[in-house]
Structure 1
Amino acid sequence: MLNFAAGLLIAYLIGSISFAVVVSKFVGLADPRTYGSKNPGATNVLRSGNKKAAVLTLLGDALKGTLAVALAFHFQDQLGYSRTDIAWIGLAAFIGHLYPVFFKFEGGKGVATALGVLLGLNWVLGLATAITWIVIAYFFRYSSLAALIAALFAVFYNALLFGINGQAAAITIMSALLIYRHKQNIANLIAGKESKIGQKKS
């Protein structure tokens, strides 16, 4: 139990590293929480016009989710983690991204980190979810819409691959939180006011 609690805490701290803020500061951009959607994520960083910073943000946010899960798998035998435990550790990293202790609990919406967690749990699960995002984003040009649909399909893909179990519960909660964090985007989509990918927003 203590090992599991430690795993959750470490994963949360890893998830709390906001690469949107760190990368933006490193390359001399404004804090992404001060412009556009004010969301510290890759899509909002892209609105600055700096594609390299957006890519670095995307990779960093995804890799921290994968890292938290990979570490749990690496020490699985020593610490006695089950696959369900590892899925919940991945969820802790995701929550760290949403509510980062290092950045006054003002985090992003979790798309890249959620994908990183899914890839860490199973590459087929992560790849299927990523392809879903890419297809929707390509045809509709809305990052938020792609994220919402991919989140729903992630639950379906996981059930198809692993059935209904503890991992399914963790992924369902992760998807529900991701959708909740997009509530304003949902309202904007309905109102026809949502910004498209690459569109600058004052």
Structure 2
Amino acid sequence: MTEAVRRKPYSVVLLDEVEKAHPDVLELFFQVFDKGVLDDGEGREINFRNTVIILTSNTGTDRIMQWCLNTEQKPTPDDIVEGLRDELNQVFKPAFLGRLTIVPYYPVQDAILERIVGLKLERIRKRFERNHQAVLRYDEALIKAIASRCTEVDSGARNIDNILSKTLMPELAQRVLERMAQDKPIQSLTIDLGSDGNFAYTLT
């Protein structure tokens, strides 16, 4: 990390799921937060003053989900921070939390999940049509079905990439390869949901 910041001091450093980090690792950042510098393995002082550091954590996500079940009476961000204070103090040292600005995020709503799925499917569609000069079709039901599988607290929207890259795209590629092996042209490919809930592919 220090080498990356040394080369590009105007950077954004993202530390994901920071609650899993060893306490000794987190203490290294006290120097960054207090002085804006961090010594690397060779004793060089690396300037972090122009670096934005973002830390994410799943701490308290179950509570936030419960508090936000009533979409008409969501707690304010300040209320969430105060409500999570005890739980955060059990995971992180108060001295560490005191150096951070805590920004709680509301759970991703179904409509937003569907929008994300739609954007990612659109990228796949454009790439497919560019590579194969054929039409790729899908409907709103497919978007909703994928989004419905991404409501877990821990994975949430990140599961969209999982579904697309590990299931839909490999299966799509397999169907295309089978068609090419038969020496048949591809004019269009439609992705639907089968009766078993799995993806179904129709090529013409």
TM-score normalised over the length of structure 1: 0.29
Which of the two has greater strand per residue? 2
Higher RCO (C-alpha 8 Å, min separation 6): 1
Highest CA radius of gyration, 1 or 2?
2
